[in-house]
Structure 1
Amino acid sequence: MDNLALYYLGKVVYDYCGLNYLNNISSLKMKVSKRLRQLNIESYWSYIRYLQEHPSEWDQLIVLLTINETYFFREDKQLYIYQQKILPQFASEVQQPIKIWSAGCSTGEEAYSLAMMTMDLDHYKPKKVHIIGSDINKKVLSIAKEGIYSKSSLAFRRIPPYWLQKYFDEMENNYRIKDEVKKMVSFQYVNLLEEVENGRNEEFDVIFCRNVLIYFDEETIEKVVKSFYRALKKGGYLFLGHAETISNLKIGFETLNENGTFYYRKG
C-alpha cells in the first residue's frame, strides 16, 4: 500500500514541477518520511490529501526534493564565452539593456557570477545588463536575495581571489555581495513546468540553465527547452550543464562548440 501511495505522490510531484521520482521511489520515501513525522501524518495517502488541502505545503516539499549544490565561477569556460564573446556582441548591437536569465539559480552563485563577469569588462556600463535568477525553491531564493555566504562554504571553492576583495564585503564569518553587484541581479520564483504552459512576457538575450535538466525525463526536457526557445530573442544563446545536451531535439537551436564546451544559439 505504501509503494502505491508513494508512486502516486511521485506522479503528483511530476505533474507539479517535472521532477521525476517515478523510477526512484525509495529516494522519494527517504526525503518525505521525516516531513510526515513532523506533521504527525500517518500515511502517504494522508499526506497527498494534505498537499491538496494546504497548497503552501508545496514550498516545504520542494525544499526536500530539490538539490541545490552550486558555487561561484562554476563551469568557467562557459562564463568566459559569455564574457568575451556574447556580451561584447550584444553591447555593440542593442541599445536596450541586455537581459540574462539564470534558470534554476539555487542560492544565487551563478547569477552573481554572471554579474561579476560582466563588471570585469572594461566597457561595462551600469544598468546595461539585467540578470534574473529564478528557482522553484523559495528557501534558496531567500538566501540568494540576501547575498550573504559563510566563509567556510563550498560556494567559494573556485572563486577568483580578487573577486572576494572587489565584489564582496568581508564580515566576521561571512562574505556579503556588494550592493553594486546586487543591483544588477533580481530573483523570482519560477516553476519551469508552469513556464511551459504560461510562457513569459519578456524576451532574453541569454539563458543559463545548468544542471537542472538532469532531473527531468525526456518529455519534460523537450517541453522546457521549447519554452526557453520561445523566451529567447532571435540570435539569443542557451547554456546548459556540461552533462546535458539537446542536440538530438529538433527545436531550432544551432549547436556551437567553443573552448571545449557546447552551447546553443537560436537562429
Structure 2
Amino acid sequence: MMNMQDNGLVKLSQIIYDYCGLRYADRLPTLKEKVSKRVLELGLSHWEYCQYLKMSPGEWDVIVELLTINETYFYREENQLTECCSYVLSLIKRKNKNRPIRIWSAACSSGEEPYSLAMLIQETGQFLPGSIEIIATDINKKVLQKAEMGWYHHGSFAFRRTPENLLKKYFTDEDGGHQIKPSIQKMVQFQYLNLLEQDKIFQLGEVDIIFCRNVLIYFDHDTTKRVIRSLHQNLADGGYLFLGHAESITDMTLGFKKVDSDKTFYYRKESDQNETVQCISG
C-alpha cells in the first residue's frame, strides 16, 4: 500500500505530465531522484510540493531545469543540417520570393542547433542578411539565457564535432571560452515556449522548416500526436520537418510525406487536412 509520500510522488508525476508532457508515472524512482534535493531544500513533502507548484508558478522554471536533459552539441546529426542548408533551403528560396524563409528550432537547448544552422547558411553564400529568420525555443529558461549569450567554455563537449575552420571563422576566444560572432548571433531569435501550449505555437507564425529533434522520445504516444499536430498546423504547405534519427512518423495521413536522401530522412508537409497521425518514438 502506498503511503502519503508515495501518493504525493504519483500526484507530482501527473501534474508534470499535464504541464509539459514528460512522463514519470512508470519511472517514479527517477522522478524522486531528480526532485529530492529541491524538495528537501524547501522542507516539503512531495504532496506539499504539488501544492507549492500551484501557489508559486515561478517554481516551474526550477523543476523544468531539474527534469530536462540538455545534451547537445554543434553540428549534431550533421547530415540533416547539410541537407537542409545545401538543398532544402534552395527549394524554398525558389518558392518564397517575397518574404524571408523562416526556420524554427524547437527545443533548442543552449543554442548549438540554431547557431549551427546559421553558420551553415552563411557558408552557402546564397542568402542575403535578413532573408532567413531562425526562431529558437525551449521550455528551460536557464539554457535559453546561455544560448542568448552565445559563449561556450573551451573544454565544452559542445565542440566535439565542430570543424576547426568553422570554429576559427565564427567564434572568437573570450574569457576562457568561445564566443559566437555577432553576425551569427543576430540571425537567431530565442524565446521561451512550452510545446504543449498550442496557442503560443500559433503566435510564432507560419514557418517553412521545423527542427524538432530528440524531443519526441521523451513523450508518450498521445503527447507525441498532440505535438506533431501543432507542428503540422504551424508549418507552411510544402514545408519540411526534421526529427531525430530515433523518431519517426509511420502513418502519413496527416499530410507528411517521408523524404529519403542518401544519408538521412525527413518529412515534407503535403496538405492541411485535419486527419489523425500516428507517431512512434524510440
User: Normalization by structure 2: what TM-score?
Assistant: 0.92
Of 245-254 and 4-13, more deviation after overlay is shown by: 245-254
Query: Contact 1:213 / 1:221 at 8 angstroms: preserved in 2?
Result: yes
Deviations 1:96-131 (A, max 9, x none): 111000000000000100100100012121111110
| 1:34-53 paired onto structure 2 within 5 Å | 34-41=37-44, 43-53=45-55
Alignment of 1:11-160 (within 5 A): 11-41=14-44, 43-94=45-96, 95-160=98-163
Report if the CA contact (8 A) 2:195-2:201 is conserved. Answer: no
Q: 1:247·1:255 contact (CA, 8 Å) conserved in 2?
A: no
Percentage of identical aligned residues:
48
Report how far residue 199 of structure 1 moved: 4.1
How far, CA to CA, are the matches of 1:137 and 1:199 in structure 2? Answer: 16
Does structure 1 residue 9 correspond to structure 2 residue 29?
A: no
Match of 1:211 in 2: 214
In the alignment, the residues of structure 2 paired with residue 249 and residue 31 of structure 1 have an alpha-carbon distance, to the nearest angstrom, of 37
Q: CA deviation at 1:163?
A: 1.2
AA aligned to 1:65 is L
Shift of 1:177: 0.6
* Corresponding pairs, count: 265
CA deviations on 1:220-249 (whole Å, 9 max, x unpaired) are: 000100100000000000000000011236
Question: In structure 2, how many angstroms separate the alpha carbons of the residues matched to 1:199 and 1:65?
Answer: 22
SS of equivalent to 1:143? helix
1:162 to 156, 165, 170: 165
The question of whether the paired residues in 2 share the 8 Å contact of 1:222 and 1:249 is answered with: no
CA RMSD after TM alignment = 1.1
**Helix, strand or coil: the match of 1:115?**
helix
1:265 to 268, 271, 278: 268
Aligned residue identity for 2:60: W
Bigger drift between 108-117 and 1-10 goes to 1-10
Q: 1:96 to 1:227 in 2, by over 3 A?
A: same
Residue 171, structure 1, aligned to residue 154, structure 2: no
Structure 2 Cα separation of the partners of residues 155 and 10 of structure 1? 31
Which residue of structure 2 aligns with residue 241 of structure 1? Answer: 244
For residues 2-58 of structure 1, the C-alpha deviation after alignment (integer angstroms, 9 at most, x for no partner) is 2221111000000001011111111000000100111122x1011011111101000
Q: Deviations over 1:177-219 (max 9, x none)?
A: 1000011101000000012x55413100000000001000000
Runs of 4+ more than 3 Å apart: none
Unaligned runs of at least 5 residues, structure 1: none
Higher mean C-alpha deviation, range 245-254 or range 144-153: 245-254
Looking at structure 1, the residues matched to 262 and 76 of structure 2 have their Cα atoms a distance apart, in angstroms, of 15
Unaligned runs of 5+ in 2: 271-282
Q: Is the 8 A contact 2:8 2:47 kept in 1?
A: yes
Q: Distance in 1 between matches of 2:255 and 2:126?
A: 32
Partners of 2:200 and 2:76 in 1: CA distance? 30
